[in-house]
Chain A
Amino acid sequence: MYPHERSLVKRLENSPFALIGVNSDQDREKLKKTLEDEKITWRSFWNGPKGTGGPISAAWHVQSWPTIYVLDGDGVIRYRNVRGEAMDRAVDELLKELEAKKK
């Protein structure tokens, strides 16, 4: 996952795009090394000390990890659980849509 996400974030660093994580590790301190090692620069909500039993994943009925949602500029869910190339296509399409709206 990380390499693909890294390249997506890098490719779109000047576009109106954000990758937002919801992290379900129990220990935030331990995670700092992972962030460094894996060059995870994007921001994450923390799901709290209960890990996968935390409040955000519960509110979103998340049952398997990773779970992906893609939102458009209006905050509307447009895709669920797209991975790899399909995720890139979805994001590119929504960016195009956003661009067209501005004109």
Chain B
Amino acid sequence: MQRLIVWSLAGLILVPAAWAGGDKKNGNDKVFKIEGTLAKDDPADKLRKNPHKVHEYKMKAGANYVIDMITKNAQELDPYLRLEDSAGKNLAEDDDGGGFPNARIIFKAPKDDTYRIIATAFKGVGDYTLTVRVASEAQSILEQLKESLGTKQKELFKQFPAAKTEEARQKITDRFYELTADSLLPLSEFAQKYADDPAAKEAKNMVRNNLRQLEQSDSPGVGKVLRTLREKGPKEMHGQVSLALSQNLRSQYERSYQRKDKDAGKLLKEIEDLLKHVGENHADLASQVKDVQFTLKNLTVGRPAMEIEAEDLDTKTFKLSDYRGKVVVIDFWGHW
């Protein structure tokens, strides 16, 4: 009897919550789910030109929605999603964002509207499951982090065509990388705080990918952020951050070597110590550490070039060192 009361109480609480969303079918805290089929004779989508079906869905201004289109048979249907407002304006599209071959759109509704979800195909036809759910709190926060980074970087992109000198362009590139670097600490803090939410995994992947991007930057600003992240960021990232920092410092070292700075040697020592430390403390990164150490020794400004001995295009063998005493440009090229 007691159990029955508990159940009915739960029912009482749950039912109004489902209604609160307005439209019963679109109850905002429920997952909206449709089993659909794309057939060859479905009308062609105006943009994608493949068969499509339209699913209308009411969204509330400011809320984040996750729309998934999952194929039932990856051999037959590679799904593709588009999203339009009620007036038919294309707002978002995606091919493999849900993990190949499934499509996912994460969308923040700018206004209350009945949106048109276009379920179509990158390739093929067949059965699919379409779900729409309100993003979790964590997912929404992650979307905000992504959006704020994206907006700032887009603004920078707009300045690029106006930058006339190499210096001006370099400044924009540096700033771009610095913004990426700035995002790392909030992202990794987020991943720690919401460790149980699937969004944490996405945030971690972003951190990893962004770190890899930053390896290409020689901006001292990026180096500074990486140093902070190394001190304050999560322990599990320590090794990756140190590796990225060593790459960044390597480029900085090359610049200072070219300027004939007195402190160039100090920088080099710092990189060597850093790599040694990572090698000793992160067994999983051993091969990457070795790579950077090799690069530092053999492929870095200030180091003697490695010997090359091979045939030329007329099958005659020669050596790079045959050209000692001359200034040499080595150009790795191909005609393709």
One of B166, B299, B308, B336 near A77 (C-beta < 8 A): B299
- Which residues of the partner chain A approach B313 to less than 8 Å between Cβ atoms? 23, 28, 31-32, 35, 43-44, 46
- Which residues of the partner chain A approach B315 to less than 8 Å between Cβ atoms? 28
- Which residues of the partner chain A approach B320 to less than 8 Å between Cβ atoms? 20, 45, 75
Contact B329 A70, beta carbon cutoff 8 Å? yes
- Which residues of the partner chain A approach B300 to less than 8 Å between Cβ atoms? 77, 80
User: What's the tally of chain A residues with a CB closer than 8 Å to chain B?
Assistant: 57
Q: Which of A52-103 contact B (CB under 8 A)?
A: 52, 55-57, 59-62, 65-80, 86-87, 91, 94-95, 98
- Which residues of the partner chain B approach A61 to less than 8 Å between Cβ atoms? 291, 294-295, 299
What band does the interface of chain B fall in when counting residues whose beta carbon is under 8 Å from A?
35 or more
- Known A28-B313, A45-B308, A45-B310; judge A67-B332 contact (CB<8 A): yes
Is B331 part of the binding interface, using a Cβ–Cβ cutoff of 8 Å? yes
- Which residues of the partner chain A approach B324 to less than 8 Å between Cβ atoms? 73-75
A24 to B327, CA, bound (A): 23
Contact B332 A70, beta carbon cutoff 8 Å? no
A48 to B328, CA, bound (A): 22
Interface of A (DSSP majority class): mixed
Is B164 part of the binding interface, using a Cβ–Cβ cutoff of 8 Å? no
- Which residues of the partner chain A approach B294 to less than 8 Å between Cβ atoms? 61
One of B254, B318, B333 near A24 (C-beta < 8 A): B333
Q: Which of A8, A38, A94 has the most CB of B within 10 A?
A: A94
Contact A76 B306, beta carbon cutoff 8 Å? no
- Which residues of the partner chain A approach B312 to less than 8 Å between Cβ atoms? 43-46
A70 to B303, CA, bound (A): 12
Expressed in whole angstroms, the minimum distance between the Cβ of B320 and any Cβ of chain A is 7
Expressed in whole angstroms, the minimum distance between the Cβ of B248 and any Cβ of chain A is 15
Contact B333 A98, beta carbon cutoff 8 Å? no
- Which residues of the partner chain B approach A38 to less than 8 Å between Cβ atoms? 335
- Which residues of the partner chain B approach A18 to less than 8 Å between Cβ atoms? 323, 326-329
Expressed in whole angstroms, the minimum distance between the Cβ of B315 and any Cβ of chain A is 8
A58 to B299, CA, bound (A): 12
Contact B332 A60, beta carbon cutoff 8 Å? yes
One of A15, A19, A32 near B331 (C-beta < 8 A): A19
- Which residues of the partner chain B approach A31 to less than 8 Å between Cβ atoms? 313, 335
Expressed in whole angstroms, the minimum distance between the Cβ of A81 and any Cβ of chain B is 10
- Known A20-B331, A22-B308, A23-B313; judge A60-B299 contact (CB<8 A): yes
Q: Which of B281-336 contact A (CB under 8 A)?
A: 291, 294-295, 299-306, 308, 310-313, 315, 318, 320-321, 323-336
Is B73 part of the binding interface, using a Cβ–Cβ cutoff of 8 Å? no
- Known A23-B313, A61-B291; judge A75-B321 contact (CB<8 A): yes
Can you spell out 29 A-B residue pairs with CB atoms less than 8 angstroms apart?
A1-B333, A17-B328, A18-B323, A20-B329, A22-B332, A22-B333, A23-B333, A23-B334, A45-B312, A46-B311, A46-B312, A47-B310, A47-B332, A59-B308, A60-B306, A66-B331, A67-B332, A68-B329, A68-B332, A69-B305, A69-B329, A70-B330, A71-B327, A75-B305, A77-B305, A79-B258, A86-B166, A91-B329, A98-B327
Top 8 nearest A-B pairs by Cβ distance? A24-B334, A67-B332, A16-B326, A69-B330, A71-B328, A45-B310, A94-B327, A22-B332
Which residues of B line the A interface, CB within 8 A? Answer: 166, 254, 258, 291, 294-295, 299-306, 308, 310-313, 315, 318, 320-321, 323-336
